[in-house]
Amino acid sequence: MRNFTTVTDVVDLNALIKEALDLKKNPYAHKTLGVNKTLGLIFLNPSLRTRLSTQKAALNLGMNVMVMNMDKEGWALETEDGIVMNQNTVEHIKEAAAVMGQYCDIVGVRSFPKLIDRDDDYSGDFFKKFIKYSGVPIVSLESSKLHPLQSFADVLTIEETKKVARPKVVLTWAPHIKSLPQAVPNSFAEWMNAYDVDFVITHPKGYDLAKEFSGKAKIEYNQTKALEGADYIYVKNWSSYEDYGKVLSMDSNWMMTNEKLKNTNNGKVMHCLPVRRGIELADEILDGPNSLVVQEAGNRLWSAQAVLKKILESNF
Protein backbone atom coordinates (compact mmCIF):
# COMPACT_ATOMS: atom_id res chain seq x y z
CA MET A 1 0.00 0.00 0.00
CA ARG A 2 1.39 3.41 -0.94
CA ASN A 3 -1.40 5.90 -0.13
CA PHE A 4 -4.34 5.50 2.24
CA THR A 5 -7.33 7.66 1.37
CA THR A 6 -10.16 5.13 0.87
CA VAL A 7 -11.01 1.47 1.53
CA THR A 8 -10.15 0.77 -2.10
CA ASP A 9 -6.48 1.41 -1.25
CA VAL A 10 -6.65 -1.73 0.90
CA VAL A 11 -5.69 -4.87 -1.01
CA ASP A 12 -6.93 -7.42 1.56
CA LEU A 13 -9.26 -6.02 4.22
CA ASN A 14 -9.42 -9.22 6.30
CA ALA A 15 -5.63 -9.40 6.41
CA LEU A 16 -5.42 -5.73 7.45
CA ILE A 17 -8.00 -6.30 10.22
CA LYS A 18 -5.92 -9.21 11.51
CA GLU A 19 -2.77 -7.12 11.31
CA ALA A 20 -4.34 -4.35 13.43
CA LEU A 21 -5.70 -6.76 16.04
CA ASP A 22 -2.27 -8.43 16.25
CA LEU A 23 -0.70 -5.00 16.84
CA LYS A 24 -3.22 -4.38 19.60
CA LYS A 25 -1.97 -7.54 21.35
CA ASN A 26 1.67 -6.76 20.67
CA PRO A 27 2.13 -3.00 20.03
CA TYR A 28 5.94 -2.98 20.00
CA ALA A 29 6.52 -6.05 17.82
CA HIS A 30 7.75 -3.79 14.99
CA LYS A 31 9.35 -1.00 16.98
CA THR A 32 12.34 -0.64 14.66
CA LEU A 33 10.43 -0.76 11.34
CA GLY A 34 10.16 3.02 11.15
CA VAL A 35 13.54 4.01 12.58
CA ASN A 36 14.98 7.05 10.77
CA LYS A 37 11.69 7.63 8.97
CA THR A 38 9.66 10.78 9.58
CA LEU A 39 5.89 11.15 9.57
CA GLY A 40 4.53 14.67 9.04
CA LEU A 41 0.97 15.37 10.19
CA ILE A 42 -0.65 18.41 8.62
CA PHE A 43 -3.93 19.68 10.05
CA LEU A 44 -6.07 22.27 8.32
CA ASN A 45 -8.82 21.62 10.92
CA PRO A 46 -9.04 20.67 14.61
CA SER A 47 -8.33 17.14 15.84
CA LEU A 48 -7.99 15.18 19.07
CA ARG A 49 -8.13 11.43 18.36
CA THR A 50 -6.61 11.51 14.88
CA ARG A 51 -3.69 13.64 16.00
CA LEU A 52 -2.83 11.65 19.13
CA SER A 53 -3.53 8.15 17.83
CA THR A 54 -1.56 8.65 14.62
CA GLN A 55 1.41 10.13 16.50
CA LYS A 56 1.35 7.28 18.97
CA ALA A 57 1.05 4.71 16.16
CA ALA A 58 4.14 6.18 14.47
CA LEU A 59 6.09 6.20 17.75
CA ASN A 60 5.20 2.54 18.36
CA LEU A 61 6.83 1.78 14.99
CA GLY A 62 9.95 3.77 15.86
CA MET A 63 9.19 6.72 13.56
CA ASN A 64 9.84 10.39 14.22
CA VAL A 65 6.77 12.63 14.03
CA MET A 66 6.27 16.29 13.19
CA VAL A 67 2.87 17.92 13.57
CA MET A 68 1.78 21.19 12.02
CA ASN A 69 -1.50 23.03 12.44
CA MET A 70 -1.51 24.54 8.96
CA ASP A 71 -4.69 26.49 9.57
CA LYS A 72 -3.10 28.44 12.43
CA GLU A 73 0.64 28.17 11.87
CA GLY A 74 1.05 27.82 8.11
CA TRP A 75 0.64 30.13 5.15
CA ALA A 76 -2.82 30.18 3.57
CA LEU A 77 -2.68 27.54 0.82
CA GLU A 78 -3.72 28.04 -2.80
CA THR A 79 -4.86 24.94 -4.68
CA GLU A 80 -6.12 26.30 -8.00
CA ASP A 81 -3.86 26.05 -10.99
CA GLY A 82 -2.85 29.04 -13.08
CA ILE A 83 -4.23 31.56 -10.62
CA VAL A 84 -2.73 34.99 -10.02
CA MET A 85 -2.19 34.97 -6.27
CA ASN A 86 -3.11 38.57 -5.51
CA GLN A 87 -5.69 37.73 -2.82
CA ASN A 88 -5.39 36.02 0.58
CA THR A 89 -3.61 32.77 -0.29
CA VAL A 90 0.15 33.01 0.20
CA GLU A 91 1.64 29.70 -0.92
CA HIS A 92 0.65 27.24 -3.63
CA ILE A 93 0.10 23.56 -2.84
CA LYS A 94 2.67 22.78 -5.57
CA GLU A 95 5.49 24.22 -3.48
CA ALA A 96 4.04 23.48 -0.02
CA ALA A 97 3.45 19.74 -0.66
CA ALA A 98 6.77 19.39 -2.48
CA VAL A 99 8.63 20.95 0.46
CA MET A 100 6.90 18.65 2.97
CA GLY A 101 7.98 15.73 0.80
CA GLN A 102 11.58 16.90 1.29
CA TYR A 103 11.32 16.62 5.07
CA CYS A 104 8.94 13.66 5.51
CA ASP A 105 8.82 10.05 4.37
CA ILE A 106 5.04 9.85 4.85
CA VAL A 107 2.60 12.76 5.20
CA GLY A 108 -0.84 12.65 6.86
CA VAL A 109 -3.27 15.39 5.85
CA ARG A 110 -6.59 16.59 7.27
CA SER A 111 -8.69 18.92 5.15
CA PHE A 112 -12.44 19.32 5.72
CA PRO A 113 -14.89 20.32 2.97
CA LYS A 114 -15.98 23.92 2.63
CA LEU A 115 -19.59 22.65 2.17
CA ILE A 116 -20.32 25.30 -0.46
CA ASP A 117 -19.50 23.69 -3.83
CA ARG A 118 -20.23 19.96 -3.90
CA ASP A 119 -18.28 19.24 -7.08
CA ASP A 120 -15.26 21.00 -5.63
CA ASP A 121 -15.46 19.11 -2.30
CA TYR A 122 -16.08 15.74 -3.95
CA SER A 123 -13.42 16.13 -6.68
CA GLY A 124 -10.68 14.87 -4.34
CA ASP A 125 -8.51 17.55 -5.93
CA PHE A 126 -6.71 18.53 -2.72
CA PHE A 127 -5.51 14.98 -1.99
CA LYS A 128 -4.70 14.24 -5.62
CA LYS A 129 -2.49 17.33 -5.68
CA PHE A 130 -0.87 16.46 -2.35
CA ILE A 131 -0.05 12.97 -3.68
CA LYS A 132 1.29 14.38 -6.94
CA TYR A 133 3.43 17.21 -5.61
CA SER A 134 4.73 15.73 -2.32
CA GLY A 135 6.20 12.66 -4.03
CA VAL A 136 5.74 10.64 -0.80
CA PRO A 137 2.94 8.38 0.50
CA ILE A 138 -0.11 10.30 1.74
CA VAL A 139 -2.46 9.19 4.53
CA SER A 140 -5.89 10.79 4.83
CA LEU A 141 -6.57 12.15 8.31
CA GLU A 142 -10.08 13.02 7.01
CA SER A 143 -10.66 14.47 3.59
CA SER A 144 -13.60 16.49 2.31
CA LYS A 145 -15.47 13.23 1.61
CA LEU A 146 -13.92 10.33 3.57
CA HIS A 147 -12.35 9.47 6.94
CA PRO A 148 -10.78 6.03 6.38
CA LEU A 149 -8.70 5.76 9.60
CA GLN A 150 -11.93 6.28 11.57
CA SER A 151 -13.86 3.70 9.56
CA PHE A 152 -11.08 1.16 9.86
CA ALA A 153 -11.19 1.62 13.67
CA ASP A 154 -14.98 1.21 13.49
CA VAL A 155 -14.56 -2.09 11.65
CA LEU A 156 -12.05 -3.26 14.27
CA THR A 157 -14.49 -2.39 17.05
CA ILE A 158 -17.26 -4.44 15.44
CA GLU A 159 -14.88 -7.29 14.64
CA GLU A 160 -13.72 -7.65 18.25
CA THR A 161 -17.19 -7.36 19.85
CA LYS A 162 -19.57 -9.08 17.41
CA LYS A 163 -21.54 -12.06 18.62
CA VAL A 164 -22.85 -13.20 15.24
CA ALA A 165 -20.98 -13.65 11.96
CA ARG A 166 -22.99 -11.05 10.04
CA PRO A 167 -24.36 -8.48 12.51
CA LYS A 168 -27.03 -5.92 11.66
CA VAL A 169 -25.37 -2.50 11.58
CA VAL A 170 -27.50 0.65 11.40
CA LEU A 171 -26.02 4.03 10.53
CA THR A 172 -28.44 6.63 11.87
CA TRP A 173 -28.47 10.34 11.25
CA ALA A 174 -28.72 12.46 14.41
CA PRO A 175 -29.49 16.14 14.87
CA HIS A 176 -26.81 18.80 15.28
CA ILE A 177 -26.70 22.57 15.53
CA LYS A 178 -24.13 22.98 12.74
CA SER A 179 -23.60 21.95 9.16
CA LEU A 180 -21.18 18.97 9.29
CA PRO A 181 -19.34 17.08 6.56
CA GLN A 182 -20.56 13.76 5.09
CA ALA A 183 -17.02 12.35 5.38
CA VAL A 184 -17.61 10.10 8.40
CA PRO A 185 -20.91 8.54 7.22
CA ASN A 186 -19.65 8.21 3.61
CA SER A 187 -16.57 6.45 4.83
CA PHE A 188 -18.41 4.26 7.34
CA ALA A 189 -20.77 3.16 4.56
CA GLU A 190 -17.89 2.46 2.19
CA TRP A 191 -16.15 0.27 4.79
CA MET A 192 -19.35 -1.51 5.89
CA ASN A 193 -20.03 -2.43 2.27
CA ALA A 194 -16.51 -3.85 1.95
CA TYR A 195 -16.68 -5.61 5.35
CA ASP A 196 -20.02 -7.21 4.50
CA VAL A 197 -22.58 -6.82 7.27
CA ASP A 198 -26.37 -6.48 7.18
CA PHE A 199 -26.17 -2.72 6.62
CA VAL A 200 -29.02 -0.23 6.93
CA ILE A 201 -28.85 3.58 6.75
CA THR A 202 -31.61 5.70 8.27
CA HIS A 203 -32.08 9.44 8.02
CA PRO A 204 -34.78 12.02 7.31
CA LYS A 205 -35.64 12.61 3.65
CA GLY A 206 -33.13 14.85 1.93
CA TYR A 207 -30.13 13.35 3.74
CA ASP A 208 -29.30 10.53 1.29
CA LEU A 209 -25.56 10.02 0.98
CA ALA A 210 -23.74 9.84 -2.36
CA LYS A 211 -24.58 6.52 -4.02
CA GLU A 212 -20.88 5.88 -4.70
CA PHE A 213 -20.47 5.40 -0.92
CA SER A 214 -23.87 4.13 0.32
CA GLY A 215 -23.69 1.46 -2.40
CA LYS A 216 -25.71 -1.65 -1.54
CA ALA A 217 -26.92 -0.35 1.87
CA LYS A 218 -30.65 -0.55 2.58
CA ILE A 219 -32.09 2.95 3.04
CA GLU A 220 -34.94 3.20 5.57
CA TYR A 221 -36.45 6.62 6.34
CA ASN A 222 -38.26 5.34 9.42
CA GLN A 223 -35.72 5.19 12.25
CA THR A 224 -37.86 2.90 14.45
CA LYS A 225 -38.12 0.33 11.66
CA ALA A 226 -34.43 0.63 10.84
CA LEU A 227 -33.37 -0.02 14.43
CA GLU A 228 -35.37 -3.24 14.79
CA GLY A 229 -32.98 -6.01 15.86
CA ALA A 230 -29.85 -3.88 15.34
CA ASP A 231 -26.61 -5.24 16.82
CA TYR A 232 -24.76 -1.96 16.24
CA ILE A 233 -26.06 1.59 15.99
CA TYR A 234 -23.65 4.09 14.48
CA VAL A 235 -24.83 7.59 15.32
CA LYS A 236 -23.66 10.61 13.32
CA ASN A 237 -24.93 13.91 12.06
CA TRP A 238 -24.22 15.08 8.54
CA SER A 239 -25.44 17.93 6.38
CA SER A 240 -27.40 17.31 3.20
CA TYR A 241 -25.59 15.98 0.14
CA GLU A 242 -28.52 16.70 -2.19
CA ASP A 243 -29.15 20.24 -0.97
CA TYR A 244 -25.46 20.54 -0.47
CA GLY A 245 -24.20 21.52 2.98
CA LYS A 246 -27.68 22.54 4.21
CA VAL A 247 -29.20 21.68 7.60
CA LEU A 248 -32.70 20.46 6.63
CA SER A 249 -33.78 19.14 10.01
CA MET A 250 -33.02 19.66 13.69
CA ASP A 251 -35.72 17.20 14.76
CA SER A 252 -34.75 16.09 18.28
CA ASN A 253 -36.80 12.89 17.81
CA TRP A 254 -33.80 11.54 15.91
CA MET A 255 -31.53 11.69 19.00
CA MET A 256 -30.47 8.21 20.18
CA THR A 257 -31.92 7.30 23.60
CA ASN A 258 -32.23 4.24 25.87
CA GLU A 259 -35.92 4.00 24.92
CA LYS A 260 -34.88 3.39 21.29
CA LEU A 261 -32.41 0.70 22.34
CA LYS A 262 -35.34 -1.47 23.53
CA ASN A 263 -36.24 -2.10 19.91
CA THR A 264 -32.72 -3.40 19.10
CA ASN A 265 -30.83 -6.61 19.80
CA ASN A 266 -29.20 -5.03 22.89
CA GLY A 267 -27.53 -2.82 20.27
CA LYS A 268 -24.09 -1.38 20.93
CA VAL A 269 -23.79 2.32 20.19
CA MET A 270 -20.91 3.86 18.28
CA HIS A 271 -19.91 7.42 17.41
CA CYS A 272 -16.64 8.76 15.98
CA LEU A 273 -16.52 11.64 18.53
CA PRO A 274 -16.57 14.51 19.25
CA VAL A 275 -20.22 14.09 20.21
CA ARG A 276 -22.72 16.75 21.26
CA ARG A 277 -24.36 15.33 24.41
CA GLY A 278 -28.09 15.85 24.61
CA ILE A 279 -28.30 16.59 20.88
CA GLU A 280 -26.87 13.62 18.96
CA LEU A 281 -26.76 11.15 21.85
CA ALA A 282 -28.48 11.14 25.25
CA ASP A 283 -26.21 11.14 28.33
CA GLU A 284 -27.83 7.86 29.41
CA ILE A 285 -26.38 6.14 26.34
CA LEU A 286 -22.90 7.63 26.55
CA ASP A 287 -22.72 6.89 30.28
CA GLY A 288 -24.42 3.48 29.96
CA PRO A 289 -23.25 -0.09 29.28
CA ASN A 290 -24.11 -0.13 25.55
CA SER A 291 -21.73 2.65 24.53
CA LEU A 292 -18.61 1.57 22.61
CA VAL A 293 -17.36 5.10 21.92
CA VAL A 294 -14.21 4.98 24.08
CA GLN A 295 -13.17 1.50 22.92
CA GLU A 296 -13.80 2.71 19.36
CA ALA A 297 -11.56 5.75 19.90
CA GLY A 298 -8.93 3.46 21.44
CA ASN A 299 -8.93 1.42 18.23
CA ARG A 300 -7.89 4.49 16.26
CA LEU A 301 -4.36 3.68 17.41
CA TRP A 302 -4.38 0.19 15.88
CA SER A 303 -5.96 1.26 12.63
CA ALA A 304 -3.30 3.97 12.21
CA GLN A 305 -0.48 1.64 13.22
CA ALA A 306 -1.56 -1.09 10.77
CA VAL A 307 -1.78 1.45 7.94
CA LEU A 308 1.62 3.02 8.67
CA LYS A 309 3.16 -0.44 8.98
CA LYS A 310 1.79 -1.46 5.57
CA ILE A 311 3.12 1.71 3.96
CA LEU A 312 6.55 1.34 5.60
CA GLU A 313 6.73 -2.28 4.43
CA SER A 314 5.90 -1.38 0.85
CA ASN A 315 9.45 -0.03 0.36
CA PHE A 316 8.21 3.08 -1.33
Among positions 18, 29, 274, 294, the unique one binding ligand SN0 when judged by CB under 6 A: 274
183 touching ligand SN0, by CB under 6 A: yes
Is 278 among the residues that bind ligand SN0 (CB under 6 A)?
A: no
| Residue 297 binds ligand SN0, judged by CB under 6 A | no
CA dist 219 and 209 (Å) reads 10
Task: Determine if residue 243 is left, alpha or beta; phi over 0 gives left, psi from -120 to 50 gives alpha, anything else beta.
Answer: beta
Q: With CB under 6 A as the contact rule, which of the stretches 55-63, 78-86, 123-131, 176-184 interacts with ligand SN0?
A: 176-184
Does the protein bind ligand SN0 through residue 138 (CB under 6 A)? no
* Shortest distance in whole angstroms from residue 69 CB to ligand SN0: 15
CB of 176 to ligand SN0, least distance (A): 7
Q: Which is nearer to ligand SN0, 33 or 67 (CB)?
A: 67
Which of the ranges 1-9, 36-44, 179-187, 283-291 carries the binding residues for ligand SN0, by CB under 6 A? 179-187
Which residue lies nearer to ligand SN0 by CB, 183 or 200? 183
Q: Can you tell me the distance from the alpha carbon of 225 to that of 238, in angstroms, rounded to the nearest whole number?
A: 21
Work out whether 163 is an interface residue with ligand SN0 (CB under 6 A). Answer: no
**In the complex with ligand SN0, which residue's Cβ is closer, 231 or 280?**
280
136 part of the interface to ligand SN0, by CB under 6 A = no
| Candidate list 178, 259, 287, 315; residue touching ligand SN0; CB under 6 A | 178
Among 272, 286, 292, 312, binds ligand SN0 (CB under 6 A): 272
Contact region for ligand SN0 (CB under 6 A) — 12-20, 208-216, 221-229, 269-277? 269-277
Question: Does 184 engage in binding with ligand SN0 (CB under 6 A)?
Answer: yes
CB of residue 55 to ligand SN0, shortest distance in Å: 16
Q: Show the 3-state SS of 127-155.
A: HHHHHHHHCCCEEECCCCCCCHHHHHHHH
Q: Write down the least CB distance from residue 113 to ligand SN0, Å.
A: 9
281 touching ligand SN0, by CB under 6 A: no
Give one DSSP letter per residue of the chain, joined into a string.
Answer: ---BSSGGG-S-HHHHHHHHHHHHH-TTTTTTTTTT-EEEEEESS--SHHHHHHHHHHHHTT-EEEEEEHHHHSPPEE--TT----SS--EEHHHHHHHHHHH-SEEEEE----SS-HHHHHT-HHHHHHHHHH-S-EEES--SS--HHHHHHHHHHHHHH-SSSS-EEEEEE---SS---SHHHHHHHHHHHHHT-EEEEE--TT-PPPHHHHTTPEE-S-HHHHHTT-SEEEEE----TTTTT------GGGSB-HHHHTTSSS-EEE--S---BTTTB-HHHHTSTTB-HHHHHHTHHHHHHHHHHHHHHTT-
Sole window of 64-72, 173-181, 214-222, 247-255 interacting with ligand SN0 (rule: CB under 6 A): 173-181
**153 in contact with ligand SN0 (CB under 6 A):** no
**Quick one: which of 16, 42, 115, 180 contacts ligand SN0 (CB under 6 A)?**
180
Q: If binding is defined by CB under 6 A, does position 304 make contact with ligand SN0?
A: no
Residue number with CB closer to ligand SN0 (23 or 184) = 184
Q: Cβ-count burial of 162 within 10 angstroms (0-12 exposed, 13-18 middle, 19+ buried)?
A: middle
Binding of ligand SN0 by 181 (CB under 6 A): yes
CA-based torsion, 148, 126, 69, 275: positive or negative: negative
Interface ranges with ligand SN0 (CB under 6 A): 178, 180-181, 183-184, 272, 274, 276
